[in-house]
């Protein structure tokens, strides 16, 4: 015998018919049907079935409302522009600032019943930021991203964490709402540590410059560095070879 698979709505209608067979069945709110079951003195087993059906129904309706709201939001959301330029050492790039993103997108999200929050965690030197987008009916979806702290540019430990958190907030938020800038994205280096040569290596290079009587300004131009301290670690061997020529 072929098994008949009934939907939640069909099961609720079946239970309603059992409880009130003389009444014409029309689509009903699961909570009102649960109330009817209580009023009719239904068994605990029947009430539990209604409660489970009602919970599943509400979760599904909440999820559908979230998907619909997000689609409508994306259809009307403006294109984002890179409003912030960063320059330090040999690094230069543009990106959308977090403040600009929030000013542009959050009010429009609110028009569709959407809100956001950020969750944070830190473990084994790794920082994780999660953007959570929630619809007013309760459904929410999360987008996490993890990175080590950004120690570039001489930042202290607190500044390094702050820079990374801001970076992760920005990218998880854009990922969660499915948005991107209207321009080519060249910001992937902001929270990725850049390794410079060590203090001992700086001393060695300074000594070689003095011994070889090199013009330091020309040397730095050749290295494409603003100072000996900002020579990239992976260029150290190349620099030493150049000084010994």
Q: What pLDDT score does 144 carry?
A: 92
> Who wins on pLDDT, 24 or 81?
81
The token pair that represents 245 in the structure block: 């020529």
**In a shared domain, residues 203 and 160:** no
Per-residue pLDDT tens for 69-93?
999 998 888 888 888 776 666 566 7
Domain residues for the domain of 203 are 199-243
pTM attached to this predicted model: 0.58
CA 244 from chain centre, in angstroms, equals: 48
Domain edge (last residue) among 129, 146, 177: 177
How many distinct helices (H) and strands (E) make up the chain?
A: 8, 5
Query: So what's the pLDDT on residue 138?
Result: 94
The strand order across the sheet containing 114-123 reads: 114-123, 126-135, 140-148
Average pLDDT, the chain: 78
Mean pLDDT across 2-23: 52
In a domain, 62, yes or no: yes
Do 115 and 165 fall into the same domain?
yes
Main-chain phi, psi angles of 198, to 5 degrees: -80, 170
> What pLDDT shows up at residue 2?
45
**Structural domain total, the chain:** 3
96 and 148 within one domain: yes
Q: Is residue 143 part of a domain?
A: yes
State whether 71 and 92 are in the same domain.
no
Is the pLDDT score of 27 beyond 90? no
204 touches 212 (CB < 8 A): no
Measure the N-to-C terminal CA separation of the chain; round to a whole number of Å: 89
Bridge pairing between strands 140-148 and 91-95: unpaired
Question: Could you tell me the two tokens for 25?
Answer: 């069945």
Domain-embedded: residue 184: no
Residues 152 and 219 in one domain: no
């Amino acid at each position: 015998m072929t098994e008949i698979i009934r939907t939640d709505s069909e099961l609720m209608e079946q239970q309603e018919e059992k409880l009130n067979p003389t009444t014409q069945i029309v689509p009903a709110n699961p909570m009102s049907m649960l109330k009817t079951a209580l009023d009719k003195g239904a068994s605990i087993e029947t009430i539990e079935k209604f409660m489970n059906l009602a919970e599943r129904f509400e979760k599904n309706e909440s999820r559908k409302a979230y998907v619909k709201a997000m689609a409508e939001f994306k259809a009307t959301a403006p294109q984002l522009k890179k409003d912030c330029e960063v320059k330090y050492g040999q690094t230069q790039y543009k990106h959308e600032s977090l403040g600009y993103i929030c000013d542009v997108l959050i009010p429009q999200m609110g028009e569709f019943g959407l809100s956001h929050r950020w969750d944070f965690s830190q473990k084994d030197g790794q920082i994780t930021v999660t953007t959570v987008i929630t619809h007013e009916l309760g459904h929410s979806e999360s987008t996490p991203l993890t990175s080590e702290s950004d120690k570039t540019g001489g930042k202290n430990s607190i500044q390094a964490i702050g820079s990374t958190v801001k970076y992760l907030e920005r990218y998880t938020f854009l990922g969660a709402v499915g948005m991107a800038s209207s321009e080519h994205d060249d910001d992937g280096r902001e929270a990725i540590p850049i390794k410079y040569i060590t203090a001992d290596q700086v001393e060695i290079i300074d000594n070689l410059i003095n011994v070889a009587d090199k013009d330091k300004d020309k040397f730095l131009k050749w290295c494409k560095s603003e100072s000996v301290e900002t020579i990239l670690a992976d260029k150290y061997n190349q620099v030493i070879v150049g000084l010994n020529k």
